[in-house]
Amino acid sequence: MSDPRPHLGEPLALDLLNTRWMSGDGLQDLLSTLDGVRIWLRTNNLHDRCTANEKTQ
């Protein structure tokens, strides 16, 4: 799955702040689901160093 957020490519700290955004469907939060956490890790090339599972959520 691809990253659904409108703004990508920011420095890591700013990208972490931008995990919430408004869309036509209302407030979205990428980190509210395990799949979203995995997307964030992959987008920031951290998926090889960090594991997203039920214990990390």
pLDDT at position 56: 54
> What is the DSSP code (8-state) at residue 53?
S
Nearest to 30 by CA among 19, 18, 38, 15: 19
Cβ distance 56 to 37 under 8 Å? yes
Q: Where are the domains of the chain?
A: 9-57
pLDDT at position 39: 94
Cβ distance 42 to 51 under 8 Å? no
Nearest to 57 by CA among 26, 28, 36: 36
Which residue in the block uniquely carries the two structure tokens 């090889």? 48
In this predicted model, what pLDDT tens digit does every residue of 1-57 receive, in sequence order? Answer: 899 998 888 999 999 989 999 999 999 999 999 999 999 999 999 998 988 887 755
